[in-house]
């Protein structure tokens, strides 16, 4: 069963005024670890997830070295956090590339390196009754954990290699955003609450 994968980051005694710089550092780490350098969109949520966003901006996908599509992380953060409130959440989408099995062509499935949009959210301390305590001051939503597990497949050597590459990229990105932003605690977790490390090890046949 596929699950949603998250990375939560916490910072000691974080002041709200320091949140923008932390978000810029986290978003900026993606380009060196399989991601894009520019932000796709931003959404600002007031009070809780059940409320209507008060600000949304879609910049588009990265157009290439000379293109203007997408926004630089610092610009997107400054625009979104112009209204800095303790009970707001600030959500950014950025592209991240992984190996995935393409079954949509009607031909034999083949492995392709495909982009997905990842959500990076910074939480004000009062948003959703202090959701940051459980979710982190900054939370990264990677979407489905399927590319890291492919639990419904019998993996051949090629497939196992691509899944392993995805896992290595995930671990590298988690370490990079922790270091770049100065987080003192991080947690890679899933909605099902099962041990991700154990699932990964079991899927790849790794034994301690």
pLDDT digits (tens, 9 = 90+) for 30-74: 999 999 999 999 999 999 999 999 999 999 875 545 556 899 999
What local confidence, expressed as pLDDT, does residue 66 receive? 54
pLDDT at residue 185 greater than cutoff 60:
yes
Instruction: Give residue 208's pLDDT band: very low, low, confident or very high (50, 70, 90).
Output: very low
Instruction: Give residue 207's pLDDT band: very low, low, confident or very high (50, 70, 90).
Output: very low
Instruction: Give residue 103's pLDDT band: very low, low, confident or very high (50, 70, 90).
Output: confident
Confirm whether 162 is domain-assigned: yes
Give the ranges where the chain is alpha helix by DSSP (H): 19-28, 73-80, 132-135, 146-149, 157-181, 196-203
Say how far apart CA 22 and CA 11 lie, in whole Å: 9
Q: What is the CA radius of gyration of the chain?
A: 18
Confirm whether 145 is domain-assigned: yes
Host domain of residue 63: 4-203
pLDDT at residue 203 greater than cutoff 70:
no
Who wins on pLDDT, 105 or 59? 59
Confirm whether 180 is domain-assigned: yes
What local confidence, expressed as pLDDT, does residue 182 receive? 97
For 11, 125, 139, 170, the CA distances from 165, given in Å and listed in that order, are: 29, 36, 23, 9
Confirm whether 135 is domain-assigned: yes
> pLDDT tens, 133-181?
999 999 999 999 999 988 888 888 899 899 999 999 999 999 999 999 9
Say how far apart CA 21 and CA 59 lie, in whole Å: 20
- The H-or-E segment that residue 143 falls in is strand 138-144
Domain count, the chain: 1
Say how far apart CA 38 and CA 68 lie, in whole Å: 9
Confirm whether 93 is domain-assigned: yes
Pull the structure tokens for residue 21.
Answer: 């710089």
Confirm whether 88 is domain-assigned: yes
Confirm whether 112 is domain-assigned: yes
* Whole-prediction pTM: 0.91
Confirm whether 208 is domain-assigned: no
What local confidence, expressed as pLDDT, does residue 65 receive? 52
């Amino acid at each position: 069963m596929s699950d949603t994968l998250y990375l939560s980051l916490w910072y000691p005694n974080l002041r709200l005024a320091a949140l923008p710089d932390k978000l810029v550092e986290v978003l900026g780490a993606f380009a060196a670890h399989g991601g894009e350098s520019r932000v796709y969109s931003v959404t600002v949520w007031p009070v809780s997830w059940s409320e209507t966003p008060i600000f949304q901006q879609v910049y588009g996908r990265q157009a290439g070295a000379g293109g203007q599509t997408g926004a630089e992380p610092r610009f997107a953060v400054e625009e979104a956090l112009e209204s800095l409130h303790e009970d707001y959440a600030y959500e950014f989408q950025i592209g991240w590339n992984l190996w995935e099995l393409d079954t949509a062509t009607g031909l034999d499935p083949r492995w392709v390196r495909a982009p997905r949009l990842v959500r990076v959210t910074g939480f004000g301390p009062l948003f959703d009754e202090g959701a940051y305590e459980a979710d982190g001051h900054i939370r990264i939503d990677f979407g489905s954990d399927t590319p890291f597990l492919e639990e419904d497949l019998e993996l051949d050597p090629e497939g196992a290699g691509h899944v392993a590459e995805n896992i290595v990229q995930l671990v590298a990105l988690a370490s990079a955003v922790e270091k770049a932003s100065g987080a003192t605690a991080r947690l890679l977790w899933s909605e099902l609450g099962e041990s991700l490390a154990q699932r990964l090890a079991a899927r790849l046949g790794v034994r301690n």
